[in-house]
Amino acid sequence: MISSIFSKDDLKQFAAKGIDPKVIETQLENFRRGFPFINLDRPAIVGDGIKTFNVRDAKKLSYYYDSNSKKYEVLKFVPASGAASRMFKDLFEFMELYSGSMEDLERLKTDKKLAPVSTFINRIHDFAFYSDLQKALRKDGFDIEDCIQKHEYKTIIEYLLTKKGLNYSNLPKGVLQFHQYPDGPRMSIEEHLVEGANYCKDKEGRAAIHFTVSPEHADAFLDEINRVKAKYEDMFDVTYELTFSLQKASTDTIAVDMKDKPFREADDTLVFRPGGHGALIENLNDRESEIIFIKNIDNVVPDRMKPDTFLYKKVLGGYLFELQDMVIEYIETLEDRPDDEDIRTILRFIKSKLGFIIDPDFNSFRREEKIEYLIRKLNRPIRVCGMVKNEGEPGGGPFWVKETTGEISLQIVESSQINMDDAVQKDIFSKSTHFNPVDIVCGVRDYKGQNFDLPKFINPSTGFISTKSKDGKSLKAQELPGLWNGAMADWITVFVEVPISTFNPVKTVNDLLRPEHQQMEG
């Protein structure tokens, strides 16, 4: 099939990206066939899929983590390849429309759509980047206060977003000034350095942190983190082992037109698009660490808010250690001629602790089949995922999902994976009580101490197709199974409730004005 559709030049393009032509075949078939919807069984709730810990138990798990973490190679993994441009959507739209006329000024006061811009201007002194923005304006003879008095809001925004000044819209989110401190502002990457020093430090005083970055932002990212690294090494008596990776070209997906034919440039070359954050499973798989914490680049808080973050990172880590120890013990039992009571004990452990319901035909299996099945189910990567109570944030949540085999497992599910035309499925989705904040700790080595090959645990049927445009023409794009959705679908998954104080993402610039992101409340 490939040879009949693609030319020798096309095949060279595949080879340059490191993509097997068979993968292209699969992607084209996905476009034609579409991806099946997830079959929700019920929402995961506290007491049925989501574990909670009281204060005493949380402290015990935190202590257990502190007592045992030095035995492991621990890594903090931060997806940080996203650009900051989406943070400033409202400001961009305003900048294009605002002329400074009296009519525009009146609209700014009364139009609810412009409320975010009014808030930005009125509270501009409360942003951590205020001082840097003022300096950039003064270099060219402007002053923020004068601009505000003269209603020259467009000038302020231009110096924030464009190369005239700070150029924030063209920088990675990780190097934007997020929080103000007495000794100056901190970028979000600095807050991740602080976190890493507090729960990822090994017995030699090293803290390993890995950032995924985009090619166009790599230089800026490296320059900034190298500029500030020594400050935090001195502050926390730590040596950072910082590593970086790019999303692999081999994870790009082919684009097609609206008739599912490969989409081509004017010069006849094929168009590929990034495979989404699910592509980062390859970056994760390349890491050699045993324990990996995953947290997004923009979910950070000032120091006064960090105690909850540190505590619950250790709670998740301590619980992972407990589960891993029991999994290894039970696999060893299964390999050493277990009796019926051993098997019943392991089944109770799976049901009560590990977030999946076994094959309904299990009891009809022969003894050897039961042992083989249980070892296969236990010998998988483990992820303990923090879940916060749903307060209206968009995105995925925790659910019990029914597989085609009849097994039921815990999964993080996005709304795009649900058939909202099915009243039953829509109702189940609407009853979700919790939200996925991307607060995950992973155990990625098997019971023999070898790293799992993580791509083997992906559910390839959980991708996503969206409609985009290029040069005025519509195209279809395909995203790989999401990193915490389909890319980890065959992991052992455990959900733990964590406080909402540990989830404070910055999706728009005005999110930085929330009390949680201000060094002093108010």
Q: Does residue 330 fall inside a structural domain?
A: no
Strands 253-254 and 272-273: antiparallel
Distance CA 298, CA 506 (A): 5
Domain count, the chain: 2
Q: Does residue 105 fall inside a structural domain?
A: yes
pLDDT of residue 468 exceeding 50, the answer is: yes
Q: What percent of the chain has pLDDT over 70?
A: 98
pLDDT of residue 291: 98
Nearest to 223 by CA among 169, 174, 160, 185: 174
Terminal Cα distance for the chain, rounded? 63
The answer, as to whether pTM is greater than 0.85, is yes
Mean pLDDT of the chain: 93
Distance CA 130, CA 176 (A): 12
Q: What is the mean pLDDT of residues 271-291?
A: 93
Q: What is the mean pLDDT of residues 355-366?
A: 90
Weakest-pLDDT range from 239-253, 268-282, 382-396, 443-457: 382-396
Distance CA 328, CA 370 (A): 17
Q: Which domain-ending residue is among 147, 170, 193?
A: 170
* Host domain of residue 137: 89-170
Q: Does residue 377 fall inside a structural domain?
A: no
Q: Which domain-ending residue is among 115, 148, 170?
A: 170
Kindly report, residue by residue over 29-80, the tens digit of the pLDDT: 999 999 999 999 999 999 999 999 999 999 999 999 999 999 999 999 999 9
- pLDDT band for position 213 (cuts 50, 70, 90): very high
Query: Taking a C-beta distance cutoff of 8 angstroms, is the pair 255, 262 a contact?
Result: yes
DSSP 202-235: -TTSEEEEEEEE-GGGHHHHHHHHHHHHHHHHHH
Q: Does residue 107 fall inside a structural domain?
A: yes
Q: Does residue 144 fall inside a structural domain?
A: yes
pLDDT of residue 276: 87
pLDDT of residue 2: 57
Query: Taking a C-beta distance cutoff of 8 angstroms, is the pair 399, 484 a contact?
Result: no
Q: Which domain-ending residue is among 146, 170, 194?
A: 170
Q: What is the largest CA-CA distance in the chain?
A: 84
Tokens standing for 24? 């292209």
pLDDT of residue 522 exceeding 60, the answer is: no
- pLDDT band for position 242 (cuts 50, 70, 90): very high
pLDDT of residue 521 exceeding 50, the answer is: no
Q: Does residue 136 fall inside a structural domain?
A: yes
Kindly report, residue by residue over 89-136, the tens digit of the pLDDT: 999 989 888 887 888 788 888 888 889 999 999 999 999 999 999 999
What are the contacts of 227-230 at 24+ separation with CB within 8 A? 228/187, 228/189, 228/190, 228/193, 229/193
> Hey, what amino acid is at 514?
R
76 vs 465, residue with greater confidence: 76
Q: State the Rg of the chain over Cα.
A: 25
Q: What is the mean pLDDT of residues 496-510?
A: 95
- pLDDT band for position 520 (cuts 50, 70, 90): low
